[in-house]
């Protein structure tokens, strides 16, 4: 958002709800067929679409597949190319680790390697979080002179390491080749600045392998996304919103913390998320509600299960509407077509509902219906501008 336009933003009590079905955008399972969203029985969302303004949004750019962090940043009103966030930071923020300026965080995946050091399972048989916790405690024995090392569990086989000390930087390449039957790479600096961190990480891995050598299946580890804390203005400073995140998964809490959201940390399912929304309704002016499993089922390639997750979200719509949000956006952070088993570049359907709108001719909440919506295809951060406007939070520009 242009700084001049940003200066027009005012604070008021009106409430904006952003409901994100992670990876909701999809593709037909067969030629001329329907997408997941077009298949789902979602009477509440379809009704809402009929009374809303609809369109498709692009988190980053045409043809670009968004990761989760930039996908969400874009929905929060931040152009992702202007605010790159490394994977390590997303992981650290997700578990609420209090990173400081100069810290370097990195995502650690526990893995299995064979006698010759080749990776045989990049996820160590998807060990449970409890086991991950235990291994992280074991790794706290790593001792690197002059550097503080923090190792904390994230979820399943995923952990996060943070290095703290002078002269560190995130100019270090991943050790994870993303392939099996290969040795992991040594951490290598990508510039002179990354030298000390690369050496630190190398020593960490050496000691960690020693500590893990008798573990089964998690006798090895992979590192991805060395990252320093980026400088991102808060939603309070940028949009004069008092935002709250109501999410289940750590990574999404992490991105929310990066933009200064209050994070509801206790929810484990949609019902709890709805209770949290009700209980905190008077306290905030922006609510981000996140449902992860649409994306997970898409990544699994399970079309029917993704459809079922979409239908679950449909059922909470009346509860949200009962609170009478001034603006309600329903959308995804990117597409995750089940037939692709991955995120994709396809634009994401959205609806925006508010008092003063021109409901368009969209008759259902789906990719091709939203393509007929009045907004056409827009870059995702524009959604926040429209939401602020429809919540009467932007003054007139010019006399």
**Least distance from a second copy to the Cβ atom of residue 26, Å:** 9
**Least distance from a second copy to the Cβ atom of residue 166, Å:** 26
CA atoms within 13 A on the CB side of 299: 11
Whole-angstrom distance, CA of residue 301 vs CA of residue 96: 31
Q: Decide whether 37 or 198 has the Cβ nearer to a second copy.
A: 37
SS3 for 113? Answer: strand
Give, in degrees to the nearest 5, the angle at Cα 335 between 329 and 341: 145
**Least distance from a second copy to the Cβ atom of residue 5, Å:** 6
Q: Decide whether 53 or 314 has the Cβ nearer to a second copy.
A: 53
Give, in degrees to the nearest 5, the angle at Cα 390 between 388 and 391: 60
For tokens 């603006």, name the residue: 327
303 token code pair: 């079309």
**Least distance from a second copy to the Cβ atom of residue 337, Å:** 7
Whole-angstrom distance, CA of residue 158 vs CA of residue 394: 42
Judging by DSSP bridges, how do beta strands 243-246 and 158-164 pair with one another? unpaired
Whole-angstrom distance, CA of residue 113 vs CA of residue 306: 33
Closest CA to 217 of 126, 117, 107, 116: 126
Q: Decide whether 80 or 243 has the Cβ nearer to a second copy.
A: 80
Closest CA to 138 of 215, 86, 197: 215
Kindly report the number of other CB atoms within 10 A of residue 312's CB atom. Answer: 16
**Least distance from a second copy to the Cβ atom of residue 84, Å:** 7
**Least distance from a second copy to the Cβ atom of residue 52, Å:** 12
Closest CA to 259 of 238, 290, 278: 238
**Least distance from a second copy to the Cβ atom of residue 146, Å:** 28
Beta strands per DSSP E along 168-310: 220-227, 243-246, 262-264, 286-291
- Interface residue list for a second copy (CB under 8 A): 1-2, 4-5, 8, 27-28, 31-32, 35, 51, 56, 60-71, 80-81, 84-87, 90, 107, 224-225, 337, 339-340, 342-347, 356-361, 367-368, 371, 374-378, 382, 385-390, 394-399
- Answer whether the bond into residue 28 is a cis peptide, omega within 30°: no
* 160, 91 Cβ separation under 8 angstroms: yes
Q: Decide whether 68 or 112 has the Cβ nearer to a second copy.
A: 68
Q: Decide whether 86 or 194 has the Cβ nearer to a second copy.
A: 86
Q: Decide whether 35 or 175 has the Cβ nearer to a second copy.
A: 35
**Least distance from a second copy to the Cβ atom of residue 183, Å:** 22
**Least distance from a second copy to the Cβ atom of residue 252, Å:** 12
Q: Decide whether 131 or 343 has the Cβ nearer to a second copy.
A: 343
**Least distance from a second copy to the Cβ atom of residue 378, Å:** 7
Q: Decide whether 51 or 182 has the Cβ nearer to a second copy.
A: 51
Whole-angstrom distance, CA of residue 379 vs CA of residue 383: 8
Whole-angstrom distance, CA of residue 260 vs CA of residue 288: 12
SS3 for 391? Answer: coil
Q: Decide whether 64 or 271 has the Cβ nearer to a second copy.
A: 64
Q: Decide whether 213 or 396 has the Cβ nearer to a second copy.
A: 396
* 55, 373 Cβ separation under 8 angstroms: yes
81 token code pair: 């190319």
């Amino acid at each position: 958002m242009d700084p001049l336009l940003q200066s027009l933003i005012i604070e008021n009590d009106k409430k904006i709800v952003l409901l994100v079905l992670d990876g909701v955008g999809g593709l037909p399972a067969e030629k001329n067929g329907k997408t997941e969203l077009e298949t789902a029985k979602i009477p509440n969302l379809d009704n809402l679409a009929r009374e809303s303004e609809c369109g498709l949004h692009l988190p980053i750019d045409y043809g670009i597949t968004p990761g989760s962090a930039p996908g969400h940043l874009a929905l929060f009103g931040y152009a992702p190319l202007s605010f790159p966030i490394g994977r390590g930071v997303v992981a650290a923020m997700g578990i609420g680790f209090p990173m400081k300026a100069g810290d370097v965080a990195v995502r650690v995946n526990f893995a299995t390697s064979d006698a010759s050091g080749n990776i045989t399972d990049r996820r160590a048989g998807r060990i449970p979080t409890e086991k991950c916790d235990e291994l992280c405690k074991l790794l706290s024995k790593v001792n690197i002179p002059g550097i503080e090392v923090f190792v904390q569990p994230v979820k399943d086989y995923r952990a996060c390491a943070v290095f703290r000390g002078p002269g560190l930087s995130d100019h270090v390449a991943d050790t994870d080749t993303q392939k099996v039957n290969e040795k992991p790479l040594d951490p290598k600096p990508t510039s002179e600045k990354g030298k000390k961190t690369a050496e630190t990480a190398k020593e960490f891995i050496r000691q960690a392998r020693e500590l893990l050598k008798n573990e089964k299946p998690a006798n090895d580890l992979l590192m991805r996304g060395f990252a320093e804390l980026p400088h991102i203005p808060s939603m309070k400073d940028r949009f004069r919103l008092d935002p709250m995140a109501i999410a289940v998964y750590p990574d999404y809490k992490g991105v929310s913390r990066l933009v200064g959201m209050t994070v509801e940390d206790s929810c484990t399912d949609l019902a709890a998320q709805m209770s949290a929304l009700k209980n905190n309704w008077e306290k905030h002016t922006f609510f981000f509600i996140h449902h992860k499993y649409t994306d997970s089922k898409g990544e699994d390639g399970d079309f029917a299960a993704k459809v079922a997750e979409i239908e679950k979200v449909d059922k909470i719509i009346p509860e949200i509407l009962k609170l009478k949000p001034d603006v309600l956006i329903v959308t995804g952070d990117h597409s995750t077509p089940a037939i692709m088993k991955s995120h994709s570049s396809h634009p994401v359907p959205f609806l925006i509902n508010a008092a003063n709108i021109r409901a368009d001719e969209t008759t259902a909440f789906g990719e091709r219906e939203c393509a007929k919506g009045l907004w056409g295809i827009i870059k995702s951060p524009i959604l926040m501008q429209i939401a602020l406007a429809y919540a009467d939070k932007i003054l007139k520009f010019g006399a």
